[in-house]
Amino acid sequence: MDNCRCGKQPRTSDGDSQEVTRTEWESINLSEQEEDLVYRMYRLVGERWTLIAGRIPGRKPEEIERFWIMRHGERFAEKRLRRAGREQNFY
């Protein structure tokens, strides 16, 4: 009875959760062929990252999802626009 979770007590993880560091988010580099395959597969199957990653040898579903979020997420889109503006002013 002591093992019973009564009320709304949060579950504690066993330490399996991993924090994603900033460098991990910036290190997703796909080849042109891999990007093309991701876009085509996304149009066919949607956000089924496991299925998409299964078509690209050596890639994990988490990597494909992070790549997609970085390219299409609102927060990252703003960052890309700012970076493009700086590069344009540089030349």
Q: Spell out the residues 6+ positions from residue 65 whose beta carbon is closer than 8 angstroms to its own.
A: 47, 49
| Burial category of 67 from C-beta neighbours within 10 Å (exposed 0-12, middle 13-18, buried 19 and up) | buried
The average pLDDT across 31-46 equals 94
The average pLDDT across 56-82 equals 82
The average pLDDT across 54-77 equals 86
pLDDT for 17 equals 46
The average pLDDT across 19-37 equals 73
User: Is the pLDDT higher at 16 or at 34?
Assistant: 34
Domains assigned to the chain: 24-90 (1.10.10.60)
Mean pLDDT taken over the chain: 75
The average pLDDT across 49-74 equals 91
pTM of the model: 0.56
